[in-house]
C-alpha cells in the first residue's frame, strides 16, 4: 500500500473523546498521514460538561488553505466531521471542489430525532448541498431524516430504510453508509448503498452508549478505506472496531469511549 494522506476537518475538544482527538489517532494508527483543519477549539465537548470555552476558527480556514495551495500540498482523501456554521460548510465545499481527493462527509447534525444545539433548517440545507458533492456520506438515521424530510421513527422496518435511501439518492450520487440501523432490540448495524447495490452488516447491540462513537466509526472507516479495503469491508471494519471501543469502556467513563485501549486491534484488522 502506498503512503496516503488524509485531511480531516472538524473541531478540537481538548477534553472529551470526539472529533479531531478521535480522528487523528485512529486514522494515524491505520498507517495514514493525518492532517487536520480545526474548525473550532473547545475546552471540552458539549455533552454533559458545563461552562466550556469555545473559540471559532472559521476565519482561519481560508488562510490555511491558501497557504497549502502555495506549498502545493494535496491529499488523497478529505474527511469532514462536525462543522459549526454554514460559512464553514461553504469553505469545506470549496476545498472539495478544488481537490481531486476522495471526499467523505459525516453530516454531523443530530441524533435521536433532534438537531444538536445551534443547528436549524438552514444548516440542514447547507449540509445537504455538501453531501451532494461527496463521494461517500455517513449519516445516522436522524441526519438522513432531516436532509430528506422523511419523518423520524424509533421503530421501523426495511421498507422505511429503503425509503430513506431512495430519498438520499435523489441528491447524493455517491456511496451512502447509513449507521445505527436496528430492526430489533438485540442487534444494530450499517446499511451500505454503493453502485446500485445494497448490503447490511448486522452486529449485536449494546445496552449502553458513548459520546463520540459516530466520530470513531467515520474515522475508522476512513482509515480502513485508505488501506485499500473495499467500501463494504471498511464499513464492517469500522463497525467492529466501534463495538470493541464501547465494550472496552468502563461504565464510570461517561464522556467518551475508551478507544485507545483497542487501537492495536484496529491495526491488526487492516493486516
Question: For the segment 121-166, what is each residue's pLDDT rounded down to a tens digit?
Answer: 999 999 999 999 999 999 999 999 999 999 999 999 999 999 999 9
First CA to last CA distance, the chain: 11
Sign of the torsion formed by the C-alpha atoms of 5, 226, 241 and 169 = positive
Q: What is the DSSP string of 227-254?
A: TT--HHHHHHHHHHHHHHHHHTS-TT-T
CB environment 183-205: b (16+ within 10 A), e (fewer) = beeeebbbbbbbeeeeeebbeee
Residue 73 has pLDDT above 90, yes or no: yes
CA 192 to chain centre: 14
Calpha distance 171→131 (Å, rounded): 8
Calpha distance 248→214 (Å, rounded): 16
Element (H, E) at 137: strand 136-137
Calpha distance 135→165 (Å, rounded): 15
Domain 5-260 bears CATH identifier 3.40.50.300 = no
CA nearest neighbour of 145 among 177, 117, 113: 113
Residues 211-237 pLDDT 10s: 889 999 999 999 999 999 999 999 999
Q: What percent of the chain has pLDDT over 90?
A: 89
Residue 1 has pLDDT above 80, yes or no: no
pTM: 0.96
Amino acid at each position: 500500500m502506498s503512503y496516503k494522506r488524509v485531511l480531516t476537518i472538524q473541531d478540537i475538544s481538548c477534553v472529551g473523546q470526539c472529533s479531531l482527538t478521535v480522528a487523528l489517532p485512529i486514522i494515524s494508527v491505520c498507517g495514514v498521514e493525518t492532517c487536520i483543519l480545526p474548525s473550532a477549539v473547545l475546552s471540552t465537548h458539549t455533552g454533559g460538561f458545563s461552562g466550556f470555552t469555545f473559540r471559532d476558527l472559521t476565519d482561519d480556514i481560508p488562510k490555511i488553505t491558501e497557504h497549502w495551495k502555495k506549498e502545493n500540498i494535496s491529499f488523497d482523501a478529505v474527511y469532514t466531521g462536525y462543522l459549526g456554521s454554514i460559512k464553514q460548510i461553504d469553505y469545506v465545499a470549496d476545498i472539495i471542489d478544488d481537490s481531486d481527493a476522495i471526499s467523505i462527509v459525516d453530516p454531523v447534525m443530530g441524533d435521536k430525532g433532534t438537531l444538536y444545539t445551534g443547528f436549524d433548517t438552514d444548516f440542514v440545507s447547507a449540509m445537504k448541498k455538501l453531501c451532494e458533492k461527496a463521494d461517500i456520506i455517513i449519516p445516522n438515521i436522524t441526519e438522513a431524516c432531516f436532509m430528506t424530510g422523511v419523518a423520524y421513527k424509533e421503530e421501523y422496518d426495511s421498507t422505511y430504510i429503503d425509503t430513506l435511501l431512495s430519498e438520499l439518492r435523489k441528491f447524493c450520487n455517491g456511496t451512502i453508509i447509513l449507521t445505527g440501523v436496528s430492526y430489533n432490540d438485540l442487534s444494530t448495524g450499517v446499511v451500505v448503498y454503493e453502485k446500485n447495490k445494497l448490503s447490511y452488516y448486522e452486529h449485536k447491540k449494546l445496552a449502553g452508549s458513548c459520546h463520540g462513537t459516530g466520530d470513531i466509526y467515520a474515522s475508522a472507516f476512513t482509515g480502513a478505506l485508505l488501506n485499500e479495503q473495499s467500501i463494504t469491508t471498511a464499513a464492517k471494519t469500522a463497525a467492529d472496531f466501534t463495538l470493541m471501543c464501547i465494550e472496552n469502556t468502563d461504565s464510570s467513563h461517561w464522556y467518551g469511549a475508551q478507544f485507545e485501549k483497542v487501537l492495536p486491534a484496529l491495526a491488526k484488522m487492516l493486516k
